[in-house]
Amino acid sequence: MLEQLNNIYKKMEPSCQIFFRAPKGAPGKSDAGPAVEDRTKDDITGSENAILCRQCRRIITRHDEGMEFHGAFRHTFANPHGIVFEIGCFRSAAGCTHIGSLSDEFSWFRGFSWRIALCGSCLTHLGWFYVSTTRMSFYGLILDRLVIPP
C-alpha cells in the first residue's frame, strides 16, 4: 500500500514522499476491533462528536463538519492507478496538515484543485483538501482511515 501511495505521488519531490505513511495492515482488514473502538470512546469522553485518525486517534474533525457535495456526503472514486477510495466531505478538518502544492491533475471534483491531507500527528494520508477557483474549499477524507462515531 505504501508503495502504491508513493506511485500516486511520484511526481512530487522525493523529499516529500518519505512523509507518507499508509495505515498498518491491509485496507479494510482493521486492527481496530470493537475492543479498541470501545477504549477510544472512553478516551474521548465528552467528545463523542469527534472523528479520529484510525492510526493514532488524533481528533481530525467533527461529525457536524460533515457536508454534502453534489448531493452526497460519501463519494467513491478510483485514482489513475485503480485504487478505490470512499471519501466523506467535511467543511473543515483541523487535525489535518497539508503537503504539496495545489494540483488539478485527475481532480475528482470538477473545478477544484487539491492538496494532500495528512494526519497532523502520525502523517498518515487521510485524503485531500479541495479548493475551487472561487476559493470554496472542503476536505475529502478517506472514510476507512477514520474512526467515526455512529
Contact residues: Zn ion, CB under 5 A: 53, 55-56, 58, 119, 121-122, 124
Report, in Å, the least distance between residue 55 CB and Zn ion: 4
H helix or E strand, kind and range, residue 6 = helix 2-8
Cβ proximity to Zn ion, 113 vs 124, nearer residue: 124
Report, in Å, the least distance between residue 68 CB and Zn ion: 26
Place of cell 498498518: 24
Report, in Å, the least distance between residue 74 CB and Zn ion: 21
Cβ proximity to Zn ion, 96 vs 109, nearer residue: 96
CA dihedral 82, 85, 91, 97 (to 10 degrees): -80
Would you state the cell numbers that stand for residue 134, as one nine-digit string? 472561487
Report, in Å, the least distance between residue 114 CB and Zn ion: 20
Report, in Å, the least distance between residue 12 CB and Zn ion: 20
Cβ proximity to Zn ion, 61 vs 124, nearer residue: 124
* Dist CA 69 CA 130 (whole Å): 12
Cβ distance 89 to 82 under 8 Å?
no
Cβ proximity to Zn ion, 21 vs 75, nearer residue: 21
Backbone angles phi, psi at 115, to 5 degrees: -125, 160
Half-sphere exposure in the Cβ direction for 58 (13 Å, CA): 17
Cβ proximity to Zn ion, 32 vs 107, nearer residue: 32
